[in-house]
């Protein structure tokens, strides 16, 4: 996809784009406070202590507070039962000051995740995971402005749009078919009139499928799975993966974050690519704040 930089590869800076979105949201929330006397409220529910979840929840809470959202923290023990969690969600559904509810995934094995997501009031669904919101996203006639859209794929779309190129008619390959990223990403790209392919673990000749793509979105959770020669010259690459691997640096074994794409190799072919970290991660959080603000406005305007 020609993004007008000749042979130079652009780094898509998620930190910067997310900061711009957060600045806009902060201004909007300040205005809403003047107009309504209230600010959006977000309930953040974490069950147990999965290390990655704790990192994400902390970052989400901090960012929400920074833009002026009230955060109601519910950190529950690992032994919490499904019934107890459903009861808490029900309480939050009925609290006026709570506009958005986020239940951090994954949940412990004894809890049916879908049952919990289904129990969140669709108008307070800060993640956009409720079946009603999933359905609205798939019906292209709904107005985007009011929709609660899954945060990671929406963040990817904003990054693609930041390149200023027409997405219509482009071949987009989404690698991964999760409910959180792959499927909603495909819906969003379809809405932009891309020709969309969802590739996954059973896809035959996945490298060949990928090589036809103008846009590659990798969301599989496998470190550096997407090789440099899977990427067509000038393609745009969005790497959703956040994988912790051990890596040797100057004789020492260190933890390192890598994406689903072999960044160094893919950069040689891509016209634009997201780094890991500093790519999709901050966008997911900014879009959560956006959804919470939309939920507030849907109720108060």
| Binding site residues, ligand GUN, CB under 6 A | 102-105, 127, 151-152, 180, 284
d(CA 200, CA 196): 13
Nearest distance in Å: CB 75, ligand GUN? 14
Nearest distance in Å: CB 9, ligand GUN? 28
User: Which residue in the shown chain puts its C-beta closest to ligand GUN?
Assistant: 105
d(CA 234, CA 212): 11
Q: Which is nearer to ligand GUN, 104 or 269 (CB)?
A: 104
Distance linking the first and last C-alpha atoms of the chain: 40
- Exposure of 116 by Cβ count < 10 A (0-12 exposed, 13-18 middle, 19+ buried)? buried
Nearest distance in Å: CB 140, ligand GUN? 23
Angle at 27 between CA 275 and CA 67, to 5 degrees: 60
Q: Which is nearer to ligand GUN, 165 or 242 (CB)?
A: 242
Angle at 216 between CA 214 and CA 220, to 5 degrees: 165
Angle at 135 between CA 186 and CA 196, to 5 degrees: 15
d(CA 181, CA 82): 25
Residue numbers annotated as active site: 60, 104, 127
Nearest distance in Å: CB 21, ligand GUN? 16
Q: Residue 239: which of 252, 251, 222 has the closest Cα?
A: 222
Q: Which is nearer to ligand GUN, 165 or 182 (CB)?
A: 182
Q: Using an 8 Å Cβ cutoff, are 176 and 200 in contact?
A: yes
Nearest distance in Å: CB 129, ligand GUN? 7
- Exposure of 301 by Cβ count < 10 A (0-12 exposed, 13-18 middle, 19+ buried)? exposed
Q: Which is nearer to ligand GUN, 213 or 285 (CB)?
A: 285
Nearest distance in Å: CB 66, ligand GUN? 19
Q: Residue 48: which of 84, 100, 72 has the closest Cα?
A: 84
Q: Residue 66: which of 35, 103, 22 has the closest Cα?
A: 22
Q: Which is nearer to ligand GUN, 102 or 231 (CB)?
A: 102
What phi, psi does 233 have (nearest 5°)? -55, 130
Q: Which is nearer to ligand GUN, 40 or 241 (CB)?
A: 241
């Amino acid at each position: 996809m020609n993004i007008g930089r000749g042979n130079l590869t652009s780094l898509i800076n998620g930190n910067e784009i997310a900061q711009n979105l957060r600045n806009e949201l902060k201004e909007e929330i300040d205005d809403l406070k003047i107009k309504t006397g209230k600010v959006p409220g977000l309930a953040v529910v974490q069950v147990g202590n999965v290390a990655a979840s704790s990192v994400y929840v902390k970052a989400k809470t901090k960012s929400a507070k920074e833009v002026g959202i009230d955060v109601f923290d519910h950190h529950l023990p690992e032994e919490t039962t499904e019934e107890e969690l459903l009861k808490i969600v029900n309480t939050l559904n009925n609290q006026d000051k709570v506009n958005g509810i986020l239940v951090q995934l994954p949940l412990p094995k004894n809890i049916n995740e879908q049952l919990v997501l289904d129990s969140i009031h669709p108008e307070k669904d800060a993640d956009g995971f409720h079946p009603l919101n999933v359905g609205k996203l798939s019906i292209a006639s709904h107005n985007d402005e009011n929709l609660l859209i899954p945060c990671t794929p929406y963040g990817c779309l904003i990054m693609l749009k930041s390149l200023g190129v027409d997405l219509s008619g482009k071949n987009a390959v989404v690698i991964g078919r999760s409910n959180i990223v792959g499927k909603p990403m495909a819906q969003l790209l379809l809405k932009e009139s891309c020709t969309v392919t969802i590739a996954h673990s059973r896809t035959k000749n996945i490298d060949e499928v990928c090589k036809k793509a103008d846009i590659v979105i990798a969301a599989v959770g496998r470190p550096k799975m997407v090789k440099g020669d899977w990427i067509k010259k000038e393609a745009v690459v969005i790497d959703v993966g956040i994988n912790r691997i051990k890596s040797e640096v100057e004789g020492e074994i260190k933890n390192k974050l890598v994406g689903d794409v072999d960044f160094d190799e893919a950069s040689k072919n891509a016209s634009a690519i997201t780094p890991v970290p500093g790519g999709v991660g901050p966008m997911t959080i900014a879009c959560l704040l956006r959804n919470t603000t939309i939920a507030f406005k849907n109720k108060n305007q």
